[in-house]
Structure 1
Amino acid sequence: MGIISFQGARSKTKKQDESPIKVSDYMSRDLITFSPNQSVMEVIETLVKYKISGGPVVDDSNRLLGIISEGDCIKQLNESRYYNMPIDDATVEKFMVKDVETIDGNVNIFDAANKFIETKRRRFPILEDGKLVGQISQKDVMKAALKLNSQNWWEK
């Protein structure tokens, strides 16, 4: 009598030459962006209306200048109250984060997940030729995990 295997049927593993699952496969391309001369109040209205936590700030050529977030807006609200200054004069350029870390669209989604863990960031813009083409968020990585079956996710 031969050996009986209790491992069951095994699924075929992906060939090594197949392209990895890239950030560009899961990034958001239809982004809400802000301009540096927009008022912080406009940003707050947009964040609330679209239920987002922040967005990229770009110039007229779609070059990334910074990121503005809920936290940046809250800081402005707090400062305007503390110093008794009108918030109407506050512009995005004064309160956006200018030192923005980006991620390459060709990076493997699993490496992007590690970068989220290491940096504690919520989102990374993706640039091509210096222009904003998309954004990957922690939620996008979780969506990727749901689309992949558990075996494929862990075998990468």
Structure 2
Amino acid sequence: MESLNVVDHMNQRPVTFDTEMTVAEAVERLLQSRQTGGPVIDGHNKVIGFLSEQDCIVRMIESSYYREQVAHVKDIMRTEVIAVKPNLSVLELAQRMMTEKPKVYPIVDDDGLLLGTINRSAILNAIDLHLRDGYRKGT
């Protein structure tokens, strides 16, 4: 049967940011990775924030309207990050996603170090694989 732990369905190469990166650099990284957001990490790979496309869009609109100076990731990142542990069940996370807002969750170890990320598409795919496996065994 297909594993239902988030670690087995995570993106092992998520887009990441550091606090001193400019928003323009972060946007470029988002566009190249085709990911909707990612964790902000410190020099030790510890998750200290999160940056999404929406955060960047808001800042870019404000910057163009007010002709502001260059902003950095630390100026717009969210510092309250909802991260999950690698052994969390995909089904449990799917249930949490019904009430929590994040579309992408960092997966961290017990020290808060980044292992990967998991998004809604990966959750949907994992559940689909699980259901398919169940149908095969039932026939």
The TM-score range, normalised by the shorter chain, is 0.7 to 0.9
Normalised to the residue count of structure 2, the TM-score between the two structures is: 0.87
Which residue type is aligned with residue 92 of structure 1? V
Structure-2 residue corresponding to 1:130: 112
| Deviation per residue, 1:24-63 (Å, 9 max, x gap) | 1111111221110000001111111221111111011001
CA distance in 1, matches of 2:65, 2:12: 38
Indicate the percent of aligned positions where both proteins have the same amino acid. Answer: 30
Partner secondary structure for residue 65 of structure 1: strand
Larger Rg computed on CA atoms: 1
Which residue type is aligned with residue 101 of structure 1? I
CA distance in 1, matches of 2:7, 2:33: 23
**Offset at residue 152 of structure 1 (A):** 2.8
CA distance in 1, matches of 2:46, 2:133: 39
Within a 5 Å distance, the mapping from 1:1-156 to structure 2 comes to 21-86=4-69, 89-128=70-109, 129-150=111-132, 152=134
Which residue type is aligned with residue 105 of structure 2? F
Partner secondary structure for residue 82 of structure 1: helix
2:49–2:81 CA contact under 8 A, matched in 1: yes
CA distance in 2, matches of 1:49, 1:28: 15
CA distance in 2, matches of 1:149, 1:115: 19
2:15–2:35 CA contact under 8 A, matched in 1: no
Greater length-normalized contact order (CA 8 Å, ≥ 6 residues apart):
2
**Offset at residue 125 of structure 1 (A):** 0.7
2:83–2:108 CA contact under 8 A, matched in 1: yes
CA distance in 2, matches of 1:39, 1:103: 27
Question: Across the two proteins, how many residue pairs are aligned to each other?
Answer: 134
**Offset at residue 134 of structure 1 (A):** 1.2
Partner secondary structure for residue 116 of structure 2: strand
CA distance in 2, matches of 1:31, 1:84: 31
Consecutive unaligned residues in structure 1, runs of 5 or more? 1-13
**Offset at residue 147 of structure 1 (A):** 2.1
